[in-house]
Chains A and B, each alone.
Chain A
Amino acid sequence: MSTTVETTTEIRPFHAEIPQQEVDDLRRRLAATRWPDKETVGDASQGVPLAKLKGLVDYWATDYDWRKAEAKLNALPQFVTEIDGLDIHFIHARSSHDDALPVIITHGWPGSVFELLKIIEPLTEPADGADAFHVVIPSLPGYGFSGRPEAPGWNPDRIARAWDALMQRLGHGEYVAQGGDWGAVITETMGRQAPEGLRGIHVNLPASVPADVEAALAGSGPVPEMTDEERAVFDGLAASRKSGFLGYFVALTARPQAVGYGVTDSPAGLAALFFWHPGFATWSFGADPNDPKSKDEVLDDISLYWLTNTAASSGRLYWEHGGAFPTSATAMKVAEITIPVGVTVFEEDSFRPPESWTRRAYPTLTYFNKVERGGHFAAWEQPDLFSAEVRAAFRSLR
């Protein structure tokens, strides 16, 4: 019947409003946190140090105001629509320029739509109207205000297909896609699927590491010949793997539910897990004048995971993905991408692949740039610079 069809493709306006009792419960739990003893080292090599986490949790329990975060979201046009059986939440910010290029931008973990809010204005209303975008920012399945899958199968392939369905449903017949972290995985997957309307992609976590380098890193092959620049990147990757930063990736890939209990019942435990990610671990919350992110910004994001109870469901994306490294060209099969690809490397990210590797990895690379500022969450950290990169990468595709 036609009513069923209409119901499932319907686009419904969305307004975030977490019940007050949930917000109160979070504060209560934060205040009642039972802390472990201090780590036995003077750095973060055993995990986020006690003093740093306590400082953040104290602020979270007292001065932090979730309603301000909610207001940031509710100031934007938000919608929900059911795709492939699951409710997908998204922000849809149309430019005042009618012929703007539609772009779908995907967040990562432990990020959310919050990491992308500051690029909406620069992308939709640039100084030069010829650079304008209509911006679509969905929440990944199992993240934020999107639905939580109740059966396995929501892997990057399925999400990528859902994103194309979303763009078509919004009337964006021709569009581009962008992402970092998980967003890069989804965006590259879209690039491989190459749905008819997708003109090109841009990523800021490229799958550039060549197969022989990946094998050397895994200890299953000899270290290949490399230039000095490549060698420096290789050494950095080897050191970071040895330091255990990839452990969260392995743990979530193997046991999302085991990790899930702690981060669902303990907000301090949730924050601690997020600080494992190198993109968060280095944030200083204003202690460093060159590092503008505030405690409020990072707590908006962590609170969203808590209040939507998506800490466990978001981790399941790692399990669905099955452990292929997002930085590995072979694992991500990026050589199969036939549409134009743009890449920006942000120099404060922990992974900074050389241009040579990136050109080898992506046969259809049409844009490559390295910028000095900005880290793993570049859109969050350097929104203007990030927006300029997105404009430049897609300029030739308009």
Chain B
Amino acid sequence: MSSSVDTATEIRAFRVEIPEEQIDDLRGRIGATRWPSKELVDDRSQGVQLATLKALADYWTGDYDFGRVAERLNAVPQFTTEIDGVEIHFIHVRSQHEGALPLIMTHGWPGSVIELLETVGPLTDPTSHGGRPEDAFHLVLPSIPGYGYSGEPTEIGWYSGRVAQAWAELMQRLGYTRYVAQGGDQGAAVTDDMARQAPEGLLGVHLNLLRTALGSTAGLPTASEQERAALEAVTTFRTSGFGYFLEQSTRPQTIGYALLDSPVALAGWMIDHDTDSYYKISRAFVDGQPVGGLTRDHILDNITLYWLTATGASAARSYWEGGRAAALAASQTPPAVTIPVGFTTFPGEIFRAPRSWVEKSYPNVVYFNEAERGGHFAAWEEPELFSTELRAAFGSLRNGRST
């Protein structure tokens, strides 16, 4: 019946509303935190340091405004629509410039749409941010299933490839027949899968994490100093920085219990991501010296969103899905990416992907640059610089578009 079809493809406006009692409960739990003894080392080598997490908790219950999450999200147009059986939440900001290029950008873990919010201005309204009208994008920022205000899958199978298919459907549903895609972290996995699936209308992608090398460095060149440094950084990550990855890809439910029940456990688990971002965040809380957009408020907006949506376990499950998909596809070579690829290496990233590695992974690299600043959460930390990279990377794909 047409009515049911309509319901399934309907796009509904969405607003965040948080009951006051949930905030009271959160505040109460943070205040009642039972702490472990101090780590035995002077660095992050045993995990998030007690002083860092205590400073975070103090700020969270003391100065932090719990209304921020709803305010910031409700300041942009949000929608939901059901795709493949799951309710997808997304931000959709149309540029005032009619010739703008539609862009779907995917967050990562432990991020959310919050990490991308500061790029909305520069990307959709470039003339107010040092850009030209022809730099404009219509911006779509979806929440991955199991994250934020998207629905939580109740069945297995939502690995990055399925999310990629859903994103193509979303763009089509929004009427975008020619568009580009971008992502880092889990967003890089989704965007890489989109590039391999090459749905009709996808003109090209930009990535800021080389997913392929994180999976395996076999066959990547290691002749230059830069290449050897990258290899060493990947190896370090895989040996000492991999705990959260392995945990979430094998037992997401196990860590999920603590993440749902203890806000401080959730915060600790989320900021223990990579060395560069950890120390930046730690300095923001302990010394009050944030780096770029990684401010105390921004960090807590993201953690508070995870808490209020109770998505610690379901977000972790996306790694389990990734592990399962990788095991199922172990003997198959994924289809090559033939559409244009742009890539930016940010200096604080887990490893600085050299151009040679990017070109080895993707045959059609149309843009490569090493940015001056920024780390794993580049869009969050350096939104203006990040936006400049996207303008440059996608510039050549706009040919033939009216501006």
List chain A residues, Cβ under 8 A from B39. Answer: 256-257
Known contacts A48-B254, A248-B247, then 5 further A-B pairs from the complex at CB < 8 Å, ordered by chain A residue: A36-B257, A40-B155, A47-B256, A247-B250, A265-B35
A117 at interface (Cβ–Cβ under 8 A)? no
- Contact assessment for B312 and A36 in the assembled complex, using a CB-CB cutoff below 8 Å: yes
List chain A residues, Cβ under 8 A from B262. Answer: 261-262, 265-266, 269
Given the contacts A46-B317, A244-B250, A264 and B259 also touching, CB distance less than 8 Å: no
- Contact assessment for B317 and A258 in the assembled complex, using a CB-CB cutoff below 8 Å: no
A68 at interface (Cβ–Cβ under 8 A)? no
Among A36, A53, A152, A259, contact of B40 (Cβ-Cβ < 8 Å): A152
Given the contacts A150-B37, A266-B258, A316-B46, A258 and B251 also touching, CB distance less than 8 Å: no
List chain A residues, Cβ under 8 A from B41. Answer: 152
Complex-state Cα separation, A80 to B154, whole angstroms: 51
Given the contacts A36-B313, A50-B253, A268 and B36 also touching, CB distance less than 8 Å: no
- Contact assessment for A256 and B253 in the assembled complex, using a CB-CB cutoff below 8 Å: no
How far, in Å, is A57 (CB) from chain B's closest CB? Answer: 9
List chain B residues, Cβ under 8 A from A257. Answer: 36, 39, 46-50, 268
Complex-state Cα separation, A33 to B257, whole angstroms: 9
Pick out which of these stretches binds chain A: B124-132, B165-173, B238-246, B374-382.
B238-246
List chain B residues, Cβ under 8 A from A247. Answer: 246-247, 250-251
- Contact assessment for A34 and B260 in the assembled complex, using a CB-CB cutoff below 8 Å: yes
A139 at interface (Cβ–Cβ under 8 A)? no
Complex-state Cα separation, A310 to B75, whole angstroms: 45
The DSSP consensus for interface residues of chain B is: helix
Per-position binary interface string of chain A over residues 37-53, scored 1 when its CB falls under 8 Å from any chain B CB and 0 otherwise? 11111000011111001
Per-position binary interface string of chain B over residues 213-251, scored 1 when its CB falls under 8 Å from any chain A CB and 0 otherwise? 000000000000000000000000000111110110111
B384 at interface (Cβ–Cβ under 8 A)? no
Complex-state Cα separation, A275 to B323, whole angstroms: 21
B297 at interface (Cβ–Cβ under 8 A)? no
Q: Which residues of A contact B (CB under 8 A)?
A: 25, 29, 33-41, 46-50, 53, 148-152, 242-245, 247-248, 250-251, 253-266, 268-273, 275-276, 309, 311-313, 316, 319
- Contact assessment for A47 and B246 in the assembled complex, using a CB-CB cutoff below 8 Å: no
- Contact assessment for B251 and A319 in the assembled complex, using a CB-CB cutoff below 8 Å: no
List, sorted by A's number, 8 A–B pairs whose CB atoms are closer than 8 Å.
A33-B261, A36-B312, A53-B257, A244-B250, A244-B251, A258-B47, A265-B262, A266-B257
Interface size class of B (residues with CB under 8 A): 35 or more
Complex-state Cα separation, A217 to B300, whole angstroms: 42
List chain A residues, Cβ under 8 A from B243. Answer: 250-251, 253-255, 258-259
Name the residue on B nearest A259 (C-beta).
B47
How far, in Å, is A166 (CB) from chain B's closest CB? Answer: 22
Complex-state Cα separation, A259 to B34, whole angstroms: 14
Given the contacts A269-B262, A272-B258, A37 and B35 also touching, CB distance less than 8 Å: no
List chain B residues, Cβ under 8 A from A38. Answer: 154
Complex-state Cα separation, A253 to B35, whole angstroms: 20
Per-position binary interface string of chain B over residues 43-60, scored 1 when its CB falls under 8 Å from any chain A CB and 0 otherwise? 000111110010000000
Among A258, A271, A309, contact of B268 (Cβ-Cβ < 8 Å): A258
List chain B residues, Cβ under 8 A from A251. Answer: 243-244, 246-247
